[in-house]
Amino acid sequence: MLADAGIVEGLRRAGLIGAEEPRLVPLAGGVSCDVWKLETAEGPVVVKRPLAKLRVAADWRAPVERGASEVRWLRRAREVDPRMAPEVLAELPGHGFVLRFLPDAPVWKDELVAGHGAPGFAAAVGLRIAALHSATAFSDADRAAFPTDEMFRALRVDPFILHVARADAELAPVLHAIADDLTARKVALVHGDVSPKNILVHADGPVFLDAECAVFGDPAFDLAFCTTHLLLKHVWLGGVRPAAEALVAAYAGRVDWEAPDAVLERAGPLTAALLLARVEGKSPAPYLIDPAHRDCVRGQARALLRRPASLDRLVADWKGLE
Tens digit of pLDDT at every position of the chain (322 positions): 445 666 777 788 877 777 777 777 777 656 667 777 888 877 888 888 776 555 545 555 555 566 788 999 999 999 999 999 999 988 876 667 888 889 899 999 999 999 987 899 999 999 999 999 999 999 999 999 999 999 899 889 999 999 999 999 999 999 999 999 999 999 999 999 999 999 999 999 999 998 989 999 999 999 999 999 999 999 999 999 999 999 999 999 999 999 999 999 999 999 999 999 999 988 899 999 999 999 999 999 999 999 999 999 999 999 998 6
**How far separated are the first and last CA of the chain, in Å rounded?**
45
Tell me if 105 sits within 8 A of 29, measured CB to CB: no
From CA 201, how far away is CA 223, in angstroms rounded? 18
Biggest alpha carbon distance in the chain? 62
CATH of region 5-100: 3.30.200.20
CB contact set of 26 (below 8 Å; sequence gap of 6+): 1, 34, 35, 36
Count CB-CB contacts under 10 A for residue 251: 30
Phi/psi for 115 (5° steps) reads 90, 15
- Where do the DSSP E strands lie in 183-262? 188-190, 199-202, 205-208, 215-217
Tell me if 290 sits within 8 A of 235, measured CB to CB: no
- The identity of residue 123, as a single letter, is A
From CA 52, how far away is CA 36, in angstroms rounded? 17
From CA 294, how far away is CA 114, in angstroms rounded? 21
Report CA Rg, the chain.
19
Angle at 233 between CA 73 and CA 122, to 5 degrees: 50
Instruction: Find, among 252, 217, 236, 221, the residue nearest to 288 by Cα.
Output: 236
Tell me if 253 sits within 8 A of 134, measured CB to CB: no
CATH of 108-317, one of 3.90.1200.10, 1.10.510.10, 3.40.50.300, 1.10.3260.10: 3.90.1200.10
The pTM of the full predicted model, rounded to 2 decimals, is 0.89
DSSP class of residue 162 equals I
- The identity of residue 227, as a single letter, is T
Sign of the Cα pseudo-torsion (306, 187, 31, 194, in order): negative
From CA 82, how far away is CA 304, in angstroms rounded? 38
From CA 28, how far away is CA 197, in angstroms rounded? 10
Residue extents of the structural domains in the chain: 5-100, 108-317
DSSP class of residue 159 equals I
Predicted local confidence at residue 65, as pLDDT: 64
